Each structure stands twice: as structure tokens, then as C-alpha cells.
Amino acid sequence: MSTPVIEVDHVTRRFGPVVALDDVSLTVRPGELVGLLGPNGAGKTTLLSLVDGLRRPDAGVVRLFGADPRNPASRTRLGSTPQETGLPPTLRVAEVVDFVSRHYPSAQPAAALLEQFGLSGLARRQCGGLSGGEKRRLAVALALAGNPALVLLDEPTTGLDVDARLTLWEALRAYHAAGGTIVLTSHYLDEVQALAERVVVIDRGRVLADDALATVIGRVAVRRVGLTLPDGADLAPLWNLPGVVGVTADGSRVELLAGDADAVVRALVHSDVQFSGIEVRSASLEEAFLTMTAAAETATAAETAAATKTTDEGAREPA
Amino acid sequence: MSTMSLGRLTLLHTRYQLLETMRVPIAVIGNLVFPSLALAFFVLPQRAVAGDPELATQAVGQLALFAVISTCIFTYGVGVAEDRALPFDAYLRTLPAGPLPRMGGRLLVGGIFSLVSLVPLILIGALFTAAAPTPAQLVGGVAAVLVGALPFLFAGLAIGYALTFKAALPIAQVVLFPMAFLGGLFLPPQLFPRWLDTASGFVPTRAARDIVVQVTTGTGATLFDFVMLVAWTVALAALAVWAYRRDQGRRFR
């Protein structure tokens, strides 16, 4: 089997008291197109900064093409994007492309690259004079300048209009079709849905889901079952219902997320749960994603609560 | 696969940093013009100085040192602080190059601008004053100016890596002008009162100035000047290394 493009092995990274990545493991193989999905502050950008060698993990190992990404030689087949706000304002578009390309042993011809990203007419323009969309296209073009085997794209189309977005997607699909590996982060579900073949959901520094796009969509093709429980009812039995992947409560109103709503309703009827006002509707990808992150939160909260309870009981016991 | 050679990458970074700097010509022109103006307005009218070979050489040497020190403090101090604030700096760290070509490029660009800033001063000195160093004294003088500016190269890097852009600009000015005056770059130390002359002996600008004057006119420096120059260079280099490591540790740990 070929060497993985990226290996992240039990990696933890803290910034002061904040745990940005908590024991994350992830392997990306050649030719994959992986979408990293998660809210702002989830740890996506931190993960990319470990892979591109900007930072090192506190614990665990990161390998890029089987080697340490902090060694410049490991990065000869890596392309990444600058933030569009960071392009040197006085340099011209063609100059920035030339400057970046010359770092790579087998760079793309600049003319073809500019053509592909619709930047040919702007080659002599200074970066400071580009529009936001043009800067974004240039930033992504720079990631591909060195003919890399892997590109890391952090929010590649944030703030772009629909046309510019489609142009970029087209370029990324072409790169992937030619055998390139892509890891992109986004907090837009439709972007991940349009491009990715594999989806990794991250929140609070943990991997919540890592699966084929179709499977994640399948998980998303879940339905919401809403019901009202008597005050003070225990939510725990609801987790035992067939196929329930999420339970959220707002006062006495409870929402269940489940793959098969019919099975849940059938099981509910046969259980001794005292429910009323049942309602079934489909969940959007956004909702599924929110539920996924919320479920992780609830699980953590439950763990904490359980731990506290045990301590309390332990303290009372001697009396 | 290996990276491009360090030499080629350093030249590449040098070329683009030069280009970036030249595109904002006011920064370059300011450094070039100010010392020449000072020579034209404050030295040329005083025939007692401009007409005396030794005093004229001394005046040109002092301002040459000022020009190079000012280039060092501004390109390294303010320039580095400005670069550090740009996300592009972090992006460059993800290219297959590492930090050395960028640092090498920075040093070369500062060196090139330093040499360029000497050209108008030497021309004015040669055309309009009685200064007439031998070719050996001229070459030696240029070398002495560059060596004498070393403490300020490191001071600039220390400022650039330790401070934000907003703090670096005023600090650079606060360091540059008093140091230049105290070191006798604007007024020759012969005109200083005794106490000021004594205090002046302990600053790096004075040590560098005395050495430049010694090389170009044959008198002026003492052993103490050499000791001070080496001590300041070592101390400020240590400060620059500390600031660089602290910055890298904060941003790229």
C-alpha cells in the first residue's frame, strides 16, 4: 500500500489552557478529497497548521508523505493557501505566482495557472488592487502553483459570490481528477457536499464523525422526532431507542434525531415513556451537523455530571 | 524530493524583497536623501570644515555611518516588525524553504541599501569638499562603516522581532537620533563639553565613528573604541537572537 499523504496519530495541541485538538487521529491517502467540517474554533485550522509544518503537536505524531512536515523537504509536494488579506500589496499577480513557484522543483507554467483561475487579465495588477474574490482565487492558485500532490485549503470560498465559487470548485475538481489529494475546511455544508468524497466532522478539538460523504449524508437523512415529556422526566431511556443519534431538550420539549423515525415511534409506543404531542419531520444537513456537535456536548456534560456525583457520594459515605 | 538550493532561494527572496521595497520609494529616498542633505546644508557652507581635507573626510564619514545605521534600524527594525504582522509571512513558512532564505534575503537587502545610501554622500564629498582619501582609505572607510553598523543591524533585528509595528517605529526613532548625536555623527565630538565627550565614549555610535575616522584619516580611534564596538555587537546580537527565538516560539511553536 502506498504511503499515506497525511498521518495524524493521537495528536493533542493546546494553546495555553485551551485544548485546540484533543487526541485526534486521521489518515489521508493519495487521491482522496476530504472535507473538514466544523464550527469556527473547532480546531480545523490548527489541524492544518500541524500538517503544513507551521506548528508542532504537544503530543502525538504528524507525518506528511511519511516524514516530519517541519522539515522543508517534506513540503516540496504540499500546496497551501495564504489568507487573502496577507498577499503582499505592492507585488503584481504574476510576480507573486513566480515567487511562490520558484520554491518548487516542478512548478506549473504560470500562464496556464493564471488561465485556469481566470486571472490572466490581472497578471500585471498589484495584489493590493485586487477585489476580495480575485485575491481568493489567487490564494487558491498559489496552492496549486508548485504542482503539489496535496493541497490544504482553509475556507477556500469564504466570502465569494456564486460564480467565483463555481470557478474555484471547477479548478479543484480538475486538480483532483488529475490525481491530486485535497483537504479542505469549510463551515459551509454545501461546499463540502459539492466537493468532498469523505467528510470529517470536528468540534472542540475532537473528531465526531469520519466517513464517506454518502454515509454522512445518510446520517443526515435522519429525521427529527419531536415530543413533549412530563416535567422532570429522565432523558436517558430515549438514547436506548433504535437508531437514535441525538437527543436535545428544551424544557419539556424533546427532539430526537434518528435514522428510522418509524422504528423510533413504534418503540416509543411500546415503552413506558409518557410522551405527548409527537411530531416527525426531516432534518437538514445543518441540523444534523448541529446535533452531532450538540450530542458530543451532552455526552461530555453527562460525563462531568457523573464524575461529580460519584465524588459527592464518595465524600458522604463515611458519615 | 529535496528543496531548491539555499543559495537560489536566498537570491529569490532578496530579489522580491528589493522589488517590494522599491515599490514604496519614499522609504528608500528618505534614507538616501537625508544624510546628503545634512552634508549639503550643514557641512558645505562651513568652509573651515569643507575646505579642510581631514575635517571634511571626518564629516563625510560621520554622515555615512549615520546613513547606514539608519538603514539598519529602519529596514530591520521597522521592516521586520511590519512583515511579522502580515499573514503572508506565516504562509511563506509553509513553502518548502524554511526561515533561512527569508532571513538571508533580509540581510542582503539591508546591505544593498546601505551601500547605495553611501553613493550620494561619497559623490558630494568628492566633488564639493576638500576630502581626499586615498583609494585604500576609501575602501577601508566603506568597510569600517559596514562593520561599525553591525551593532545596529542587531539592534534593528531585536526591535523588529520583539515589538509590534506600531511600537517599533517610535522606538527606532528614539534609538537612532540620540545615539547618532551622542556618538558624534552630527557634531564632531571635539565640540562636545568634557562630560558629554566622556559619556559619548560608551555608546556604540561613538566607537564606530572613531574607527571610521581612524581608517579614513589615520587618527582618532583608541583601543577602548574597539573594545566597546565588540562588546556592543556581542550584546545586541544576543538580544536579537533572544527576540528572534521568542517570536518564533510564540508564532510557530
pLDDT per residue as tens digits for the range A90-117: 999 999 999 999 999 988 899 999 998 8
The residue out of A217, A241, A273 marking a domain boundary is A217
**Cα angle A144-A146-A148, degrees, rounded to a multiple of 5:** 70
CATH, residue A264? 3.30.70
Same domain, A109 and A210: yes
Predicted confidence band of residue B231 (pLDDT cuts 50, 70, 90): very high
Q: Is residue A92 located within the same domain as residue A171?
A: yes
Distance CA A225, CA A100 (A): 53
Confidence of residue A38 (pLDDT cuts 50, 70, 90): confident
Q: What integer pLDDT is reported at residue A230 of this predicted model? A: 85
Q: How far apart are alpha carbons A53 and B175 in whole angstroms? A: 36
Average pLDDT over residues A59-81: 93
Indicate the pLDDT class of residue B108, thresholds 50, 70 and 90. very high
Instruction: For residue B168, give how far its alpha carbon lies from the nearest alpha carbon of chain A (Å).
Output: 20
Instruction: Give the residue with greater pLDDT, A123 vs B253.
Output: A123
Q: In sequence order, which residues have a C-beta less than 8 Å from that of residue A109 and are 6 or more positions away?
A: none
Identify whether residues A132 and A275 lie together within a single domain.
no
| Candidate from B96, B252, B253 with C-beta closest to A103 | B96
In a domain, A276, yes or no: yes
List alpha helices for chain B, DSSP H.
6-22, 25-38, 47-50, 53-71, 79-85, 87-92, 100-128, 135-148, 150-162, 165-182, 194-200, 204-217, 223-252
Partners of residue B253 in chain A, C-beta under 8 Å? 55-56
- Residues A290 and A292: their CA atoms lie apart, in Å, by 5
* Separation CA B30–CA A248 (nearest Å): 65
A312 pLDDT above the threshold of 80: no
Domain of residue A194 covers: 6-217
Both A76 and A89 in a single domain?
A: yes
Query: Exposed, middle or buried: residue A317 (CB in 10 Å: 0-12, 13-18, 19+)?
Result: exposed
A221: confidence class by pLDDT, cuts 50, 70, 90: low
**Residue predicted with more confidence, A129 or A249:** A129
The C-alpha atoms of residue B225 and residue B69 are separated, in whole angstroms, by 17
The reported pLDDT for the residue numbered B220 is 85
Residues 10-29 of B with CB under 8 A from A: 12, 16, 19-20, 23-24
Q: Where are the domains of chain B?
A: 6-252
Same domain, A191 and A255: no
Most confident range (mean pLDDT) of A1-5, A166-170, A308-312 is A166-170
Tell which of A217, A233, A253 closes a domain.
Answer: A217
Question: pLDDT-derived band of residue B250, with 50, 70 and 90 as boundaries?
Answer: confident
The answer to whether B128 and B50 have CB atoms below 8 angstroms apart is yes
pLDDT tens across B57-105, in order?
Answer: 999 999 999 999 999 998 888 889 988 888 888 899 899 987 889 989 9
Residues 120-179 of B with CB under 8 A from A: none
Q: How many domains does chain A have?
A: 2
Q: Indicate the residue among A217, A235, A255 that finishes a domain.
A: A217
ipTM score:
0.85
Q: What's the CATH code of the domain at A78?
A: 3.40.50.300
- Measure the CA–CA gap between A51 and B251, rounded to whole angstroms: 15
Is A1 domain-assigned?
Answer: no
Query: For residue A150, what pLDDT is reported?
Result: 96
Based on the fold, state whether residues A226 and A264 are members of the same structural domain. Answer: yes
B97 interface with A at CB cutoff 8 Å? yes
> Are the C-beta atoms of A195 and A172 separated by less than 8 Å?
yes
What residues contact B122, with CB distance under 8 A and at least 6 apart?
Answer: B60, B64, B138
Residue A63 to residue B226: CA distance in whole angstroms: 50
